[in-house]
Structure 1
Amino acid sequence: MEGRVFLRIAGSVDHAGLHVPYALVPAQGVLAKPSKWRKLDAEARAALIRERSNERALRELHGAAAGFVRELAGECDEYGLAPMDFLHTLADLQTSEPATVVFDRIRQRLGHAVERQREERHAERTRQSINLAEYPASFEVARRLPRKFIALLGPTNSGKTHKAMEALAKAASGVYLAPLRLLALENYERLLEVTQHGKPLAVSLVTGEERRLAEGATHVASTVEMLDTRTPVDVAVIDEIQMLADRDRGAAWTAAVCGAPARTVYLVGAPEARRAVEALAERLECQLEVHVLKRKGPLAMEPGPVRKVKNLRPGDALIAFSRRDVLMWRDMVAEMGHSVATVYGNLSPEVRRAQAQRFRDGEADIVVGTDAIAMGLNMPIQRIVMTSTIKFNGYEEEEIPAALARQIAGRAGRYGIHEEGLVAGYDADSHEVMRSLLKEKPVPLNTTGFAVAPTLEHLHRIAAVTGETSLAKLLKRFIHNIDVPDGFFYPRITEDQMERATWLDTLPLSVADKFTLSLVPVSTKVVALQNAWEHWCVALSKQRTTRLQEGTSLYYMTLQEVEDTCRMYSAYAWLGYRLPDYFPDIELAQELSRRASERVDSMLQDQNTAARRRHRRR
């Protein structure tokens, strides 16, 4: 067999009630290649067989087989496996390989079986440790309160957020939960202007990167991920409730709906969230009122596309879907003599707000931005002009969904400033696509599969029953092994977090520290930010404190570099609030971030001015 002539010796081993027959090749059992064997006469063949199967060889083989049977039977007994499931192959294997190799292969099979059994046991224990059907019960304060939901659903410019904020301002205590730092900041300032019983409200601002804590605060403006689920309040406002369906952040809205510790919870957002909100209210056994609001002013498509930059007019918002395109269009518009405000996602909230304020104050004729203007920036836009309807979704370029098209278009025609809002495409294609998208019927959000992200408590529970300390393995168990009885709540993590977890597992860090570091809000796609994050992780693994320096002058940096520097300081502040012993320079980080924001704003203004000068020279 297998190009060899070899000797196979049969026998059996009796051990602890087992009878194990074998047919194995001894250590010197391979006699020759077939070509050589054919040249040997009968006497030479017999002599070779006698030499290789002498008494000593037989004893050694039997001793090795008996020792292996004892070893394997002991291991099987330890793991509760049947030894004959593995040992029966000793008599069945059709191979010329020596017994030692056969034994190793059976050991390998046993190892795989043990690993499978351990995996099944860990999976079962994980299932028993976390049942997502019980997820709402984990929010003890919300569970004890008699909660009522009021859904205020409507398109942009329907006054839904204004109505909810009025209720919040009148309440004795409350919390506003925003999708963006910018929105949290705007509504924080809005609440600061409110007076109750002749006194201004005591309001705190809480975001991942910033805390402005007022003594005796009764109201809090917060990003949704920063919800305090332990302090009961009278009113909570959860903004942009349709974000329940967001691929990466939807879990924060699930947690807010389940855990907002308020007697009255306002759910504010798009009409397509209605069925999802109704399903959640029923599951949580909360009373629900639904109010569907209409847009306060009409929204209409222009008869035809804009076609030329010179056809843009004051009050227009020009929409592109990348930073590069925004800056390109900004230059084109400025070179026609217009003053321009610029808004895109990479900018800090402070810069976005400063740019929007210029447009509000009439210092800028036209705003050029990404879909970042669709959420959280109230500007007196009369007409939305789409330069494109194709956007990169993180994986590929695709046509924007109708919901996003409606949200962007809805920013046109600010109530009380313009009689109607207008929408146009820059070219014929984008114009017709927008016309079609705005006619599309909204697709309702799913009524099951609400995302739940792992908490540190979840991971500790899994670690307690499996003994695992690898963050990547714990996250995989959370995704694949926890109990999801009816799929109403469903486990989710982001791809970024899983990639980071795999890298963090190479460092000597606790599960808690690895979990915190996996959530730091920096982009892995920006080399400078990724390098900073890795440096922080390595420093923490060595229990070194990371201090900030004043650093290089911002005046020697490009716009992109200053934007990234701003984001890096914000991420440091985020870490500082969670691991202050190792990242203590929170105030300096915020000051450096503020300076970088001011520098970005100044650079945008300088570039705008330079482009307009070029127009005047022509």
Structure 2
Amino acid sequence: MGLNLNINRVIFSTLTKRVKWVDVPLTVSEILQIGGRAGRFGLYNEGYVTCMNKEDHTTLKEIFETNMRPPIGRRATLYPEKSHVHYVCENFPWLKFDDVLRSFVNPKQIDKDMEFSTPEMLEMISIASAIRDIPLSADDKYTFCSAPMRENNLDTLSFIQKWAVLVSQDQFVPLELDESTLAHLDLGKVETFHSIIQSYNYLRWRFPLFVDGHKCEHLLNKCAQIIQDEFDTLTLSNKEEYFRNTNLGTAVSDA
């Protein structure tokens, strides 16, 4: 989720999310939570938030320009640690790993004044379902499920599934991606490409079998540069359109 990362910009590819195979709008709270990660921890002077679809831009701008009152309530979010998941796996060995993760999703009422909830963990559960029948330990499966990935992305899931099989067989895990394909991808596909490499980068620090560290770092930098260049182009286009509309409005008023 990027809670502890230094993030300069957040680009929404959509303002909806997939819930049980249906696209539903993100809530204002979810949009603020995701977009609010831009510029955290002080590494960057400012954080930038934008979106891919022009029709979403007005909605996004209105949300972030609205003065939000701080929420008042007695609700907190808990996230299961590896030890918690391991405990459930040990005591309920007949459960599949994705079912174990689902057991942590429902809200937990402690008393009438305090409620704890857990995140939906959609990404983790998606990975767990993909690797459920691969002979890995619960700890290793938890590590794979913690890899950063885009929700319900079949391309990324297929790579993680392949990597998990190789780890279960104690074989080296190469990064089978070709830099030359980047030149022919649109921004959405580049982001998917970047997500796959990020997942590989995360896992290579946890499994010595991931051997393409230098290639991984090179492709990460390459993807980041392409995304930055595209972002700069989009920003310039928006500025040019703004000034065109402003000049047109002035001309109409003068007339």
Same fold (TM over 0.5): yes
**TM-score with structure 2 setting the length:** 0.62
User: SS at 1:182's partner residue?
Assistant: coil
Asked if the contact 2:149–2:195 (Cα under 8 Å) also holds between the matched residues in 1, the reply is: yes
1:527 aligns with 2:194: no
Q: Cα offset for 1:525?
A: 3.3
After superposition, residues 27-38 of structure 1 pair within 5 angstroms as none
Residue matched to 2:187: 559
Structure with greater Cα Rg? 1
Aligned residue number for residue 466 of structure 1: 92
Equivalence map 1:398-477=2 (5 Å): 400=28, 404=32, 434=62, 438=66, 442=69, 444-448=71-75, 450-468=76-94, 470-477=96-103
**Aligned partners of 1:547 and 1:584 also within 8 Å:** yes
**Which residue does the alignment assign to 2:122?**
495
Q: By percentage of residues, which structure has more helix? A: 2
Q: Which whole-Å deviations, capped at 9, do the CAs of 1:35-54 have from their partners, x for residues lacking one?
A: xxxxxxxxxxxxxxxxxxxx
CA deviation after TM superposition for structure 1 residue 594, in Å = 0.1
Question: Partner letter of residue 533 of structure 1?
Answer: I
**In structure 2, what residue type is equivalent to 1:594?**
N
Say which structure, 1 or 2, has more relative contact order (CA 8 Å, 6+ apart): 1
| Contact 1:522 1:533 (8 Å CA) reproduced | no
> What percentage of aligned pairs have identical amino acids?
16
C-alpha distance in 1 between matches for 2:101 and 2:10: 36
AA in 2 matched with 1:471:
F
Query: Aligned AA for 2:16?
Result: F
Question: 2-side partners of 1:459 and 1:555: how far apart?
Answer: 41
Q: Distance in 1 between matches of 2:71 and 2:17?
A: 20
Q: CA deviation at 1:399?
A: 6.8
Q: Distance in 2 between matches of 1:499 and 1:595?
A: 27
Quote the residue 2:137 is aligned against: 510
User: Where in structure 2 are there 5+ consecutive unaligned residues?
Assistant: 40-53, 245-255
CA contact (8 A) 1:524 1:530 kept: no
Deviation at 1:536, TM superposition (A): 1.8
Q: Structure 1 pair 606/462, CA: closer, same or farther in 2 (3 Å)?
A: closer
How far off its partner does 1:573 sit?
Answer: 0.4
**Contact 1:470–1:511 (8 Å) recurs in 2:** no
Residue 519 of structure 1: how far off its partner (Å): 1.9
**In the alignment, does 2:206 pair up with 1:582?**
no
User: In structure 2, the residue corresponding to 1:566 is in which secondary structure?
Assistant: helix
Aligned residues: 211
Deviation string for 1:459-500 (max 9, x for gaps)? Answer: 2222333344631343344457x9964355444551332343
The CA distance in 2 between the partners of 1:345 and 1:500, in whole Å, is 22
What residue in structure 2 maps to residue 570 of structure 1? 198
- Whether the 8 Å CA contact 2:179–2:219 is kept in 1: the answer is no
Structure 2 equivalent of residue 274 of structure 1: none
Change (3 A) 1:602 1:492: closer
Secondary structure at 1:522 match in 2: coil
1:542 aligns with 2:209: no
Q: Is the 8 A contact 2:135 2:168 kept in 1?
A: yes
Q: Distance in 2 between matches of 1:465 and 1:571?
A: 30
Partner of 2:251: none
Deviations 1:402-423 (A, max 9, x none): 9949x98xx9xxxxxxxxxxxx
Looking at structure 1, the residues matched to 161 and 62 of structure 2 have their Cα atoms a distance apart, in angstroms, of 43
- Counterpart contact for 2:128–2:145, Cα < 8 Å: yes
For the residue of structure 2 that corresponds to 1:344, the secondary structure is: strand
Over 3 Å counting, the alpha-carbon distance change for 1:593 and 1:520 in structure 2 is: same
Q: 1:550 to 1:495 in 2, by over 3 A?
A: closer
User: Is 1:478–1:491's contact at 8 Å kept on the other side of the alignment?
Assistant: yes
- CA distance, structure 2, for counterparts of residue 549 and residue 568 of structure 1: 10
Q: Which protein is richer in strand relative to its size?
A: 1
Partner letter of residue 397 of structure 1? P
**In structure 2, how many angstroms separate the alpha carbons of the residues matched to 1:489 and 1:606?**
43
In the TM superposition, what are the counterparts of 1:126-145 in structure 2 within 5 Å? none
Q: Select which of 323, 344, 365 maps to 2:11.
A: 344
Separation in structure 2 between the aligned mates of residue 467 and residue 398 of structure 1, nearest angstrom: 36
Describe the SS at the equivalent of 2:66. helix
Q: Where does structure 1 lack aligned partners over 5 or more consecutive residues?
A: 1-177, 187-341, 347-369, 371-390, 412-425
Q: 1:551 to 1:505 in 2, by over 3 A?
A: same
Q: Are 1:182 and 2:6 matched, yes or no?
A: yes
AA aligned opposite 2:228: D
Partner Cα separation in structure 2 for residue 540 and residue 597 of structure 1: 28
